[in-house]
Amino acid sequence: MVKSYLKFEPSKTFGLITAAWSNAVWIPDEDVSTETRHTGAGRAVVGAGEEVICWDLKKGELLSKWRDVDCSAQVTAISQSKTDKDIFAVGYEDGTIRLWDSRLATVMISFNGHKTAITQLAFDSAGVRLASGSKDTDVIVWDLIAEVGIVKLRGHTDQITSVNFLNGSGAGDTEIQSNTDQDRFLLTTGKDSLIKVWDLSSQHCIETHVAQSNGECWSLGLSPDQSGCITGGNDGELRVWSIDAAAMNEVAKETGATDGRKILVDRGNLYRQGKDRTVGISFHPRLDYIAVHGAEKSIEIWRIRTETEVQKSLARKRRRRREKAGEQGAGNELENAADADKPQSISAAPISDVFVSYTIVRTGGKIRSGDWMGGKGLRLLAATTNNQLEVYGVIPAEKRKSKESEESEYNRALSIDMPGHRTDIRSLALSSDDRMLSSASNGSLKIWNVRTQTCLRTLECGYSLCSAFLPGDKIVVVGNKNGELEVFDIASSTLLDTVQAHEGPIWALHVHPDGKSMVTGSADKTAKFWDFKVVQEEILGTKRTTPRLKLVHTRTLKVNDDILSIRFSPDARLIAVALLDNTVKVFFVDTLKLFLILYGHKLPVLNMDISYDSKLIVTCSADKNVRLWGLDFGDCHKAFFAHQDSIMAVAFIPNNNEGNGHHFFSASKDRVIKYWDGDKFEQIQKTRRAPWRDMVACCQPFWRIHRQCKPR
């Protein structure tokens, strides 16, 4: 007879504002919806795992999510069409590309042509072709009308770092006018340090230059008028290139008479203050400013001088050179003054006189992507690797009072940081009614509404390692790396008490089944028992008192190694302690006498759980194995290789078809969650790999999280 099981599937993802492996795109309000056009700051379209998320920057609200149920790969690149502002091209880690209609949140076209993750996407000026670059070193040009690939360009030997269409309307008076020649050229760069110009008509590379002298080329910024571009590499090096439109025009006319002229002309190098690799270069669409950022916590703003400013700078330099040379005489002075004021073409000026560093914007995290915002003034959208979006306003040079003014050259105007953590989530806990979820990380504790996935409270805390709701679901206790227990009141968002509980990190805590006490386990080789007591505290400055919860230390259990996990049995008779020496020791709760020693793991046990009939205990370890033990004699019922990486958590579900609660879940750093039958030792279900990097924390009452999912 075939046995049936419930199937679980994830239904919601929350807490992720922007992913560290995708870029962010700013769009004005009117480009998405006519309902709320005038919110002022526009929208941000970002990648978040396998979804694309649209945020309202002014309100900090989540507007929409775009997700293809058939796609489990994470988003790696986003680009907006230049003609139809509702169309977005999204590249994924598995090499697929999807065209999304932002108004309907539906997929219009899907392309499959790359073998690995998409790194760059670019629309042509007519919006009928799309160029894509990938880690597989290929560049593919797609026809969006016929929904087919036009050409695959091979020439780079490493990851593609930028793709841009060239329409030949850059510097010079000549311009490619015919529709057939529009956007005929493609400009690409790669980690192989090369910059290439491709003729899409002949489908060949017509120019190749070494973009960077010190290694990989990581980024390229193209000026809005396509008169030049800047490439960025390692050690803060920037190389400026001018684009000869006349040479492109000659190639487009198929005369072949370019007179030895190159489309790309090297103008020289600039150097950022930061010495890390340059990740992004973005020209302002209307003003003469450039945003350049690496992988650190800053964005450098460069300004392009006007021709008058360049001539003044050159004249000043000539005057200083001649003064330094010590030329004397009235006649010479007049001649020098005349030469100093003599105008010089900006095209012949040193590149360091044209591009000058303006200011450095210090951000709240390492930058992943930056994008200029439209509208009035200089505003910059920054997506950071620590899960936040920031908007910075930069004061233009003409509006600054003076160079000596102490006024800041920029300010953080807006930010979206409340709906997510800045660091890895180390602990999760569910309330008894499954309505609230607490998540704790280094520096913050957040309370979430499970049904709406909204953040209800954000509280400051230490480096959290474990947490739990106390009976009544009004108080959360957190154990941190400093050995402190922090008690928080959810309703008032206040820290009620801080107890120095241990001398080392508190790795685990568990509330007693009767709800009147709890136990903590620490790296100081002790497990301490705490009672919950309500005491009357006097309000300062008055004679009134107010009730307050206190943790009262009652007993201490000393062991011979660090405690990594600790659990009460549901019948409150036993307590299991997982130690750093790869063993699990089981004690009687009343007398704290040793009952069983469970040994067999080759690496430390990271987590464990006891079945709801108190007959089985399941342990998981860094050795990638799960073991099932009997709590009557301590015998190992089964040991099996469960995952491809360290197993971070296991948890029994309270009820199954047999009613004994012997089914359990396991979660690992290999980004997979598995569902097991503890009686037959069989795997019931395996979820697909999660799009995020590592499974760092898992909720101990695992079944509750999955109860919110959709059973099939």
Axis crossing angle, helix 307-325 with helix 330-340, rounded to the nearest 10:
150
Residue with tokens 């790359």: 114
Asked if 479 contacts 501 with a C-beta cutoff of 8 angstroms, the reply is yes
The gap between the terminal CA atoms of the chain, to the nearest Å, is 20
Question: How far, in Å, CA of 243 to CA of 187, rounded?
Answer: 11
| 494, β-bridge pairs | 489
- Residues 128-170 have pLDDT tens digits of 999 999 999 999 999 999 999 999 999 999 999 999 999 865 5
The predicted structure's pLDDT at residue 329: 52
Q: In this structure, which long-range contacts are made by residues 100-109, counting pairs with CB atoms below 8 Å and at least 24 apart in sequence?
A: 100/52, 100/66, 102/31, 102/32, 102/45, 102/54, 102/64, 102/66, 103/32, 103/33, 105/64, 105/65, 105/66, 107/68, 109/144, 109/147
List CB contacts of 341: < 8 A, sequence separation 6 or more: 315
Give dist(CA 484, CA 670) in Å, integer: 31
Q: Which residues of 250-261 are buried (b: 16+ CB within 10 A; e: fewer)?
A: bbbeeeeebeee
The whole-number pLDDT of residue 700 equals: 46
**Contact of 510 with 566, CB cutoff 8 Å:** yes
Cross-strand bridge partners of residue 269: 239
Question: What values do phi and psi take at 275, rounded to 5?
Answer: -105, 10
pLDDT given for residue 529 in this prediction: 97
In angstroms, rounded to a whole number, what is the distance separating the alpha carbons of residues 261 and 284? Answer: 29
- Beta 129-134 vs 138-143: how paired, if at all? antiparallel
Confidence at residue 36, expressed as pLDDT on a 0 to 100 scale: 46
Q: Write down all domains in the chain, each with its CATH number in brackets.
A: 169-278 (2.130.10.10), 421-558 (2.130.10.10), 563-712 (2.130.10.10)
Tokens representing 247? 């040479």
For residue 693, count other CB atoms closer than 10 A to its CB: 13
Cα–Cα separations (whole angstroms), residue 466 to 83, 437, 507, 648: 51, 13, 6, 13
pLDDT for residue 190: 95
Q: Which residues pair with 304 in a beta bridge?
A: 355
Residues, the chain = 712
CA distance 610 to 664: 10
Whole-angstrom distance, CA of residue 480 vs CA of residue 320: 62
Tokens read off for 659: 């009613």
The low-confidence residues of the chain, meaning pLDDT below 70, are 1, 30-39, 168-181, 254-259, 327-348, 401-407, 656-660, 689-712
Phi, psi of 705 (to 5 degrees): -60, -45
- pLDDT at position 658 is 64
Provide the edge-to-edge strand list for the sheet that holds 563-568. Answer: 563-568, 574-579, 584-588, 594-598
Give whole-number Cα distances, 579 to 114, 483, 512, 606, in Å: 47, 17, 20, 9
Helical spans, DSSP H, in 483-570: none
- Between the alpha carbon of residue 320 and those of residues 326, 336, 370, 466, the distances in Å are 10, 10, 39, 66
Instruction: Measure the CA–CA gap between 330 and 663, rounded to whole angstroms.
Output: 99
Q: What are the backbone dihedrals phi and psi of residue 321, each rounded to the nearest 5 degrees, phi first?
A: -60, -45
Structure tokens at 655: 């009820």
- Per the CB < 8 A criterion, the answer to whether 562 and 507 are in contact is yes
Position 301 scores a pLDDT of: 95
pTM: 0.87
